[in-house]
Structures are given as C-alpha cells and as structure tokens.
Amino acid sequence: MTAISRLPEHLSTDDPSEPFTRSSWRYTTRRTLRRAREWLGDEPMFLPIVLRATPTGKVRQITPETQIVIEGFPRSGNTFALFALRHAEAKAGRDVNIASHVHTPSQVKLAAIEHYPTLVVIRNPTDCLTSLLIAAPHVRWDRALKEYIHHHRECLTYRDRFVIGSFDEVTNDFGGVTDRVNEQFGTSFARFTSTDEDDEAVFAAIEEHHRVVHGGTENVVPRPSDLRKAEKDWLLEQLAAPQYAGLLAEANAVYHDYVG
C-alpha cells in the first residue's frame, strides 16, 4: 500500500476536530486526486481511466458477466447492499456477479444505457456526508456538499432505468428492495431476510473485507460505530453553520427528488 493511500486518518482519541483540521501535503494530494476523479466521473467514455485509478477497479467494472449493478454516492449503503445480496444468493446456492463501488455517475449511466439491472442507493445528505468526512477527513466540507449534489443530479436523468433504495430501506428491508429490482428488471435474485443470524453474517463479511482492504481502520469500515460518535457530533455542529445552509438545502432538495 502506498504512502498516499495509507494516510494517518484514524480517529482522534483526544480531540474530535483534529482529523478534519489537520494540514499536510498528503491531504492536499488526496484533494487534488479526488477532484480529478470527479471531473472524469460523469462520462462513461472515461470509465476505463477512472477504474485504472481505483483500487481493485477491475473487479468493480461492468462486464458481460455482470448480473446487477449496485451504485451510489459513498457512505450511502452500497456495501451493505452488496454483501446482503451476496449472502442471500449464497444461501440460495448461487454465486452472483455484482458491479459496484465505483461511486461515479458514469457507472450508473453505463448500466442504464446498456440495460443492466441497476440499484442506486441514496442516503440523506447530513448522515451521508458526516460518514464520508469521517472516512475521508481530507475532503473539505463545502466540496463534499457540492459532490453530493452533482453526483445525484447527474444520475437523475436516468431515473426510470434504475431502482432507488434509500439507506433506511437498504439497511432495514433489503428484501423489499430486492423485490422491486426483480419486478422492474424481470430478475429472480434471492430475497434477503433480516434475522439476527443473517445480519451478523453480513456485518462479519463486511468487517473481514475492510480488514483486508483498509487494514480495519475504524473511520472507514461501513457499519455502525460508537467510537465515531464524538467526530460525528462535532461535524454535525460544523455543518449546521450558516455558510453551509444554502448547499445543504440544495442537497436535501435533490435527495427528495429521489425519495419523494
């Protein structure tokens, strides 16, 4: 793992603001790379470049073998949806080929244009962005809001070609979300049943995946965490400041364009 990808972004045990106010060349580099990825992330023609610059990009791309595309803005429930569907299909005795976690509008657009069964997950902006900023504290808060707005507006053009799953629906009733996917696309994916045993199996798989990919860093792993509460509370206070009110209103408006 490179020095840039392995930033010291663990949660602070003393000052919850520290990861977000830190200044370093690594943060500056990460911001530049993220901005470049956003510039390239709208058009499907640039997807090969985006995938080459994405860790494990080859396993995330859409191929002729892809059975379903699960996509969304980061920290919106992408990972739970992916592992819940894998778990349900495994219980049914099947493997499933899923393209996911590219996190660009171009992936959604390609899936829609090529008529792949597609699930787009979305989370309310306040919860989504606090989770994103904890996982990626180098991202500036106004840029995070602008990214959220831009990403969802770009995908909205293809609204009739994908199923929308809100974060609450994905994490609390993924079986119902799967039913809607099957109904719209004529597929027969297995229905995930949320029992204690099944939920534990999904979260265990998520934990293991992030141990391997991210080294188990607590700020990144996508599951509930009491250890992130101090950082979340501090961020909520900052994002409530008047200078973010306009962008937050825009983000909430585009969220409701999806979920009503």
Residue spans per domain, the chain: 19-259
pTM: 0.84
Q: Determine the topology of domain 19-259 in CATH.
A: Rossmann fold (3.40.50)
**What mean pLDDT comes out for the span 208-231?**
62
Instruction: Single out the residue of 3, 48, 43, 63 nearest to residue 27, CA to CA.
Output: 3
pLDDT value for 31:
74
Closest of 101, 90, 33 to residue 62, by C-alpha: 101
Sheet-wide strand order for 118-122: 98-100, 68-72, 118-122, 163-166
Give me the chain's average pLDDT, please.
86
Return d(Cα 241, Cα 217) in angstroms, integer.
29
pLDDT value of residue 244: 94
- Say what the pLDDT of residue 137 is: 81
Which pLDDT belongs to residue 34? 74
In this prediction, residue 47 carries a pLDDT of: 92
Six-digit token string for 159: 């609204």
Q: From the CA atom positions of the chain, what is the Rg in Å?
A: 18
In this prediction, residues 179-206 reach a mean pLDDT of: 95
Read off the pLDDT of each residue in 99-125 and give the average, rounded to a whole number: 97
Nearest alpha-carbon partner for 102 in 136, 150, 54: 54
Helix H or strand E segment including 159: none
**Measured distance CA(2)–CA(102) in Å, rounded:** 20
Distances (CA, A) of 114 to 40, 45, 188, 252: 20, 13, 19, 30
Confidence of residue 153 (pLDDT cuts 50, 70, 90): very high
10 Å Cβ neighbour count for 67? 16
Query: What's the pLDDT score for residue 6?
Result: 35
Q: Which of 6-15, 158-167, 240-249 has the lowest mean pLDDT?
A: 6-15
The per-residue pLDDT for 62 is: 96
Q: What does the alpha-carbon distance between residue 222 and residue 12 come to, in Å, rounded to a whole number? A: 18
Range from 63-72, 208-217, 237-246 that averages highest in pLDDT: 63-72
pLDDT per residue as tens digits for the range 37-90 = 888 989 999 999 999 887 776 778 999 999 999 999 999 999 999 999 999 999
Residues 130-162, buried b or exposed e (16+ Cβ, 10 A)? bbbbbbbbbbebeebbebbbbbbebbeebeebb
